Chain A
Amino acid sequence: MIQLFHVSKEYPGEPPALADVSLEVEKGEFVFLTGPSGAGKSTLLRLIFCADRPTAGQLLLFGKNVSRVTPAEVPFVRRHIGVVFQDFKLLPDRTVARNVALPLEVRARPDGEIRRRVRELLRSVGLEHRADKLPPSLSGGEQQRIAVARALAADPALLLADEPTGNLDPERTQEVMELLLAANARGTTVLIATHDRSLLARHKRRVVHLERGRVVSDGAGRPLEAR
């Protein structure tokens, strides 16, 4: 699903954001990407959803080298990926339903199918009754769940989540994690960037630990059958 071979990413005048990272994530895996702030977690996610390109090395996504993906092809690569952003990136002047519908509208799905799918997703995140509200009128936890619903709207093959439980209380954190685990159970590969150690302790999954742009450990907590 995701293969990185000696990937580096440098920004001018700054220490390397990623340095010689080699990593493989298989289809259907659930992986925590962890490390302190500035370790390179978000940079790695940005490379995977084609918001940036590696300065060295090769990154293969769905078997395709992202360095060779043309700007016109980027949207079509992204249609296989759902992303939950740390700051949610919801459109504040669209209703909850329209926000969740966005990935489906982009794919020009029929209106009836969009309505059905949005209802289904909002029910699954427990926010069906908030469909006509605007995001700013909702709590942080509710906004986070809308972001998750949007990321899952088009049944992506890969789900990336950048600190999806940041600033959430333990109860809301558990709700969001259950959504991500459910998606994984349906076959979606999930890659979560987090520095929340309690999450890692609670969910025994593969953990890739980054520090100063380098992978310093890989596999802690990974279920034996997945190794």
Chain B
Amino acid sequence: MGLRPFAVVRRALEAMARSPYLALTAVTTIFAAALLTGLFAASLSGGQRLLSAWAGEVRLSVYLAPGADLEQARQAVAALAPGRQVEAVPAAQALARLAEGLGDDARLLSGLGPDALPDAVEVAAPGIALPEARALAARLRAVPGAAEVDFGNAWLERLELFRSRARLLGLALLVLLALGTAVLVSNTLRLAVYARRDEIEIMKLVGATDAFVGAPFALEGLLQGAVGGGLAALALLGLHAALAPRLAAALPPQLPLGRADLLPGALLGALVAGGAAVGLLASGLALLRFLRRP
């Protein structure tokens, strides 16, 4: 005589209908906890996306020795960095760019001749990681006439360090938040189970197995968790829809933060699945102490 799934579902739904306040409290707690966790995870995801976008500004420059053939060097660079945008920058153009960058201070360059800066070949390397940038720079040193290769070493290294620390800190905070959430939800569901301790006792006295008693509670926890997590996912989507125009206005156009950057499908799915898992786990833990009684 095993459990009848339909009967378990019916008993779980009946229990929630009998105690709507308790069910609502559990769903609200999980919703609040999932929303908080989701907001934090979305910030973390957006932060990582912005850092990646900033890393996308990286350009590698191959400075040529005086007298080197710029076009030949450009072809060599293009061959060594296939698929990347390669641009030959003659000395005069480099000086003009520098002057433009200096703006009003461009007069400081007035004493310099047109070949004050070396010819260079530039490689756009959006989103390149530090080890990859190092490897590419090493290959580019073999370009005929190359005097120096610069890939913004210091900037990239600082950025990489910041990214990895931010990722670690974010994950640690996320784990702490998830643990705190689990404790909070567990306590709420424990109250719900405690409120029904007489029912558990009576069912056991008439011969119910732990599985018979526990299955509807577990299903309730699972459903309440999934509903709480699902509502949090919907709330985050709504929040994003409401705030997206302001966010777009606040960020430079080359750094767009789309819905998928802040709230990727995996995160939304994890909120629902995580809510369900926390609900199930918290219900199970809360039940254990009652089921252990004779």
Q: Which residues of A contact B (CB under 8 A)?
A: 49-52, 71-72, 74-76, 78-79, 81, 83, 85, 89-91, 93, 102-103, 105-108, 150, 154
Identify the closest chain B residue to A52 (Cβ): B294
Establish whether residues A51 and B294, one from each chain, have CB atoms under 8 Å apart when the complex forms: yes
Establish whether residues A93 and B18, one from each chain, have CB atoms under 8 Å apart when the complex forms: yes
Q: How far is the CA of A52 from the CA of B294 in the complex (A)?
A: 7
In the complex, which residues of chain A have a beta carbon less than 8 angstroms from the beta carbon of B207?
75-76, 78-79, 81, 103, 106-107, 154
Establish whether residues B294 and A150, one from each chain, have CB atoms under 8 Å apart when the complex forms: no
Interchain Cβ contacts within 8 Å, total number: 57
* B135 located at the interface, meaning its Cβ lies under 8 Å from any Cβ of chain A in the complex: no
The 8 lowest CB-CB distance pairs between A and B, nearest first, are A79-B207, A78-B207, A108-B1, A106-B208, A103-B206, A75-B209, A75-B207, A89-B202
* B141 located at the interface, meaning its Cβ lies under 8 Å from any Cβ of chain A in the complex: no
In the complex, which residues of chain A have a beta carbon less than 8 angstroms from the beta carbon of B1?
107-108
For chain B residues 197-221, which have a beta carbon within 8 Å of chain A?
198-199, 201-210, 212
Identify the closest chain B residue to A110 (Cβ): B4
Q: Which residues of B contact A (CB under 8 A)?
A: 1-4, 7, 18, 198-199, 201-210, 212, 292, 294
Establish whether residues B202 and A83, one from each chain, have CB atoms under 8 Å apart when the complex forms: no
Establish whether residues A108 and B7, one from each chain, have CB atoms under 8 Å apart when the complex forms: yes
In the complex, which residues of chain B have a beta carbon less than 8 angstroms from the beta carbon of A72?
209-210
Given A75-B207, A79-B207, A108-B3, answer yes or no on A102-B294 (Cβ-Cβ < 8 Å).
no
Besides the known contacts A71-B292, A106-B212, 8 further A-B residue pairs in the complex with CB atoms under 8 A apart = A50-B294, A76-B207, A78-B204, A102-B202, A103-B206, A106-B203, A107-B207, A108-B7
Q: How far is the CA of A85 from the CA of B212 in the complex (A)?
A: 22
Given A102-B202, A108-B7, answer yes or no on A75-B2 (Cβ-Cβ < 8 Å).
no
B21 to chain A, nearest CB (A): 13
In the complex, which residues of chain A have a beta carbon less than 8 angstroms from the beta carbon of B203?
102, 106
In the complex, which residues of chain A have a beta carbon less than 8 angstroms from the beta carbon of B198?
89, 91
Establish whether residues B294 and A89, one from each chain, have CB atoms under 8 Å apart when the complex forms: no
Q: How far is the CA of A78 from the CA of B203 in the complex (A)?
A: 11
Identify the closest chain A residue to B2 (Cβ): A108
Identify the closest chain A residue to B202 (Cβ): A89
In the complex, which residues of chain B have a beta carbon less than 8 angstroms from the beta carbon of A75?
204, 207-210, 212
**Of the residues B199, B202, B212, B294, contact of A74 by C-beta under 8 Å:** B294
Establish whether residues A78 and B206, one from each chain, have CB atoms under 8 Å apart when the complex forms: yes
**Of the residues A52, A76, A91, contact of B202 by C-beta under 8 Å:** A91
Establish whether residues B206 and A106, one from each chain, have CB atoms under 8 Å apart when the complex forms: yes
Establish whether residues A150 and B206, one from each chain, have CB atoms under 8 Å apart when the complex forms: yes
Which of B3, B4, B7, B209 is the most central at the interface, judged by chain A CB atoms within 10 Å of its CB?
B209
Identify the closest chain B residue to A46 (Cβ): B294
Identify the closest chain A residue to B204 (Cβ): A75
A-B contact list, 6 entries, CB within 8 Å: A49-B205, A52-B294, A75-B209, A78-B207, A83-B206, A103-B207
Q: How far is the CA of A103 from the CA of B206 in the complex (A)?
A: 5
Identify the closest chain A residue to B6 (Cβ): A111
A155 to chain B, nearest CB (A): 13
Q: How far is the CA of A106 from the CA of B206 in the complex (A)?
A: 8
In the complex, which residues of chain A have a beta carbon less than 8 angstroms from the beta carbon of B205?
49, 51, 78, 83, 85, 89
Q: How far is the CA of A150 from the CA of B207 in the complex (A)?
A: 12
Q: How far is the CA of A129 from the CA of B294 in the complex (A)?
A: 35
In the complex, which residues of chain A have a beta carbon less than 8 angstroms from the beta carbon of B7?
105, 108
B210 to chain A, nearest CB (A): 8
Q: How far is the CA of A93 from the CA of B199 in the complex (A)?
A: 10
Establish whether residues A91 and B206, one from each chain, have CB atoms under 8 Å apart when the complex forms: no
Q: How far is the CA of A81 from the CA of B204 in the complex (A)?
A: 12
In the complex, which residues of chain A have a beta carbon less than 8 angstroms from the beta carbon of B294?
50-52, 71, 74
**Of the residues B4, B199, B202, contact of A108 by C-beta under 8 Å:** B4
In the complex, which residues of chain A have a beta carbon less than 8 angstroms from the beta carbon of B204?
75, 78
In the complex, which residues of chain B have a beta carbon less than 8 angstroms from the beta carbon of A85?
205
In the complex, which residues of chain B have a beta carbon less than 8 angstroms from the beta carbon of A83?
205-206
In the complex, which residues of chain A have a beta carbon less than 8 angstroms from the beta carbon of B208?
75, 106
In the complex, which residues of chain B have a beta carbon less than 8 angstroms from the beta carbon of A108?
1-4, 7
Identify the closest chain B residue to A83 (Cβ): B205
In the complex, which residues of chain A have a beta carbon less than 8 angstroms from the beta carbon of B4?
108
Q: How far is the CA of A72 from the CA of B208 in the complex (A)?
A: 10
Establish whether residues B206 and A102, one from each chain, have CB atoms under 8 Å apart when the complex forms: yes
In the complex, which residues of chain B have a beta carbon less than 8 angstroms from the beta carbon of A89?
198, 201-202, 205
In the complex, which residues of chain A have a beta carbon less than 8 angstroms from the beta carbon of B206?
78, 83, 102-103, 106, 150
Q: How far is the CA of A72 from the CA of B207 in the complex (A)?
A: 11
Q: How far is the CA of A108 from the CA of B6 in the complex (A)?
A: 11
